Amino acid sequence: MMKKPKIWLGLGAVLVLFIAGVWVGRIMYKTQSTPPPPPTFFRSSLAPDTAGASGDQVITPVSGTVIEVRDGELIQAAVAQARSGDLIRVYPGTYKETVYIDKENISLQGMIQDGKWPTLDGEKELNDALLYSGNGILIENFKIVNYKGNGVMGQAGNNFVIRNNWILDAGVYGIFPEFGKNGLIEHNILTGIEDAAIYVGMCDNVDVRHNEVYGNVAGIEIENSRHVLVENNHSYNNTGGILVFITPGLPIKTCYDVIVRNNFINDNNHVNFGAPGSLVAGIPSGTGILVMAADQVTIENNIITGNNNAGITVTDLAYGANTANDPEVEPNPDRLIILDNIMIDNGNSPVGELKALMMTKLSTRGPDIVAVGGGTGSCIVNRDRYRTVSLGDWAQCQATDTRAIQTYMLDKPVAPRKISKKERVKMAYYGICSGCHAYEVRMVGPPTLVIQALYQNNPQGIADYIVKPEHKRKDFPEMPPQKYLSKDLRLALAEYLLTVKQ
């Protein structure tokens, strides 16, 4: 089994070179259509600024104003004054702060001038550089160095763009959107990250493309996410190049429909410097692509070379995970599709369990592709080109390419939940006001019936009162101001309160 006639090796090498040549040719001469631009709903923020400044990196906001931040000022101060649709431009300089954006539709744009970047510097004192929770956040053109937590972290927040950032030694994760739908991570350079440089965790519909990740524990990690395209990235000299995972114990339990395509994944032989106990701490050095428990992962047209453990590793959770089991997770990688990839020079010095497995095959080299543990319905094309282990029941693929998928981003932004004015008013009236005001009986404040009598035909009076209450009646406690309700909602609430009948 292990020995093949030399003529095959020779033919194989010719074939490999031929395919490589065609592939390189396609890139160099751009005979293939270039990857699609960001979807049109981002385009409005991409039109060149007629005012000039510095060319095509400039963003004009959808609406609203441009707020400028210069060296010596705080970016957070600009965020504090920004409103939905505003663009914050940050000029070259060093900014030592944690910027948090708990607002919607804010674009944060660095201005690179004469090769000088706006730099966020955590000095190994600050936790995270950029945190966001709102929808429609764009972050670009920042250099981020010396943080302890994350470079860019999103907690929820749909319709995000994170690009053209240069992130060095920024802690645990470089770029980490979590719980987001519809996003783009492109043209970032990341190195020195102790877990995953780019980590898409519990997200849907994300493209990760044209990024350069090197010298991290994990280059790109797609975890418990769906509809993710990882394309045209260069991932090298990490411990593991590209990982597609289900991690047990998370509230969203699946990972499927992921395409890993047209990436360079080479020499991922960095010593593992992950924190003890972290999920990536167990990844063997020399891992090109690792698929753990995820389903429907397509691996196509990648150049996977010089990864000393194995080119592609497929594993279930029993083999791969070092955490507590999760009864709600299906632990096997199922229905994977490995299409044509260029794989040379992988497995030069396998380690750990793989080394032991190879010994049983009388080999000291690691394979191009290995699958361990459970899983069904997977397939591969042209398997004879590669040195494979344990792919016994993998079928020959019917699929030939993923050309039909240009992007997994949506063609329209994720819309806010549709709520009628009446529904929203009821959420506020019953969700807040009813805590103190019942219809006819006294609770904390006067009954709704009494308020209705006092403010007949005067909803504005109520709307004004609830934001700035005066203590009018000694037999009732003073009402706290309800400033967190928007002006519109306050008036709508007042109008609704006057119509309540029970």
Partner 1 sequence: MRFLQFLPGTFSLLLLPIIVLTQRPESKPIELAENCPPGFELTDDNRCMSRSLYQQYPSLRNSGVGGLKTGLPKVRDGFSPQQIDLGRYLFFDPILSRDGSLSCASCHNPELGFSDGMTHSVGINGKEGSRNAPTLWNVSFMKSFFWDARAKTLEEQMEGPLFAPHEMGTTPNQLLSTLNSLPVYQRLFAQAFPDRTDEKIRLKEIYTALTAFECSLISLNSRYDHYAHGYHEALTKQEIEGLNVFRSFVARCAECHTPPLFTNQQIAVLGTPEPDGRPLDPGAEKIFDDATMRGGFKVPSLRNIAKTAPYMHSGRFATLRETVEFYNRGRGHAVPQDEDLRIHWHISEPNLSEYELDRLVDFLKTLTDETFKPRVPEKLASEAESVHNSNVRKMGK
Interaction residues for partner 1, span 244-283 (CB under 8 A): 249-252, 275-279
Q: 3-class DSSP state for residue 121?
A: strand
**Binding residue count for partner 1, defined by CB under 8 A:** 72
Q: Which residue in 31, 50, 398, 502 binds partner 1 (CB under 8 A)?
A: 502
Whichever of 148 and 335 has its CB closer to partner 1, that residue is 148
Binding mask 405-424 for partner 1 (x = CB under 8 A): ---------x-xx-x---xx
Pairing assessment for the beta strands 310-315 and 295-300 based on DSSP bridges? unpaired
Nearer to partner 1, 50 or 420 (CB): 420
Distances from the Cα of 179 to the Cα of 223, 295, 327, angstroms: 11, 19, 22
Closest by CA to 412, choosing from 105, 208, 178, 182, is: 182
Q: Is the sign of the CA dihedral 434, 435, 441, 447 positive or negative? A: negative
d(CA 326, CA 110): 42
Q: How far is the CB of 113 from partner 1 (least distance, A)?
A: 30
Of residues 183-202, those binding partner 1 (CB under 8 A): 202
**Residue 114 or 475: which CB sits closer to partner 1?**
475
Q: Is-contact 94 117, C-beta < 8 A?
A: no
Smaller CB separation from partner 1, 116 or 468? 468
Q: Is 467 helix (H, G, I), strand (E, B) or coil?
A: helix
Task: Using CB under 8 A, pick the residue from 54, 81, 460, 486 that binds partner 1.
Answer: 486
Of the candidates 30, 72, 470, 484, which one interacts with partner 1 according to CB under 8 A? 484
220 vs 380, beta carbon nearer partner 1 = 220
Among the listed residues 57, 60, 94, 98, the single contact to partner 1 using CB under 8 A: 98
Strand, helix or coil at 149? coil
Nearer to partner 1, 21 or 249 (CB): 249
Contact 349, 405 (CB under 8 A): no
What are the CA-CA distances from residue 94 to residues 69, 144, 239, 402 (Å)? Answer: 11, 10, 31, 43
- In the complex, what is the shortest distance from the CB of residue 453 to partner 1, in angstroms, rounded to a whole number? 19
Contact with partner 1 (CB under 8 A) among 80, 356, 395, 454: 80
- Please identify, using beta-carbon distances, which residue of 176 and 386 lies nearer to partner 1: 176
Q: Which is nearer to partner 1, 107 or 247 (CB)?
A: 247
**Smallest distance from partner 1 to CB 252, Å:** 5
Strand order in the sheet with 173-178: 99-101, 130-132, 150-155, 173-178, 196-201, 218-223, 240-245, 287-292, 310-315, 369-372, 388-389
| Contact pattern from residue 374 through residue 393 relative to partner 1, giving x for each residue in contact according to CB under 8 A and a dash for the rest | --------------------
Q: Rounded distance, CA 37 to CA 409, Å?
A: 11
Q: Using CB under 8 A, which residues numbered 312 to 341 contact partner 1?
A: 322-327
DSSP run (H or E) holding 313: strand 310-315
CB of 17 to partner 1, least distance (A): 43
| CB 490, CB 467: distance < 8 Å | yes
- Give the shortest CB-36-to-partner 1 separation in angstroms: 24
> Does position 81 bind partner 1 by CB under 8 A?
no
Positions of E strands within 65-128: 66-69, 87-90, 93-95, 99-101, 107-110, 118-121
The phi, psi pair for 21, rounded to 5°, reads: -60, -45
Query: What would the x/- binding string for partner 1 be over residues 144 to 183, using CB under 8 A?
Result: ----xxx--xxxxx-------------xxx--x-xxxx--
The two tokens of residue 443 are 């609770």
**Do the Cβ atoms of 407 and 396 come closer than 8 Å?**
no
- 257 three-class SS: strand
List the x/- string, 423-462, binding to partner 1 by CB under 8 A. Answer: xx-xxxxxxx-xxx-xx--xxx------------------
Q: Kindly tell me which residue out of 69, 131, 168, 289 binds partner 1, with binding defined by CB under 8 A.
A: 131
- Of 202 and 466, the one with the shorter C-beta distance to partner 1 is 202
The Cα–Cα gap between 218 and 313 comes to 14
Min dist. Cβ of residue 334 to partner 1 (A)? 19
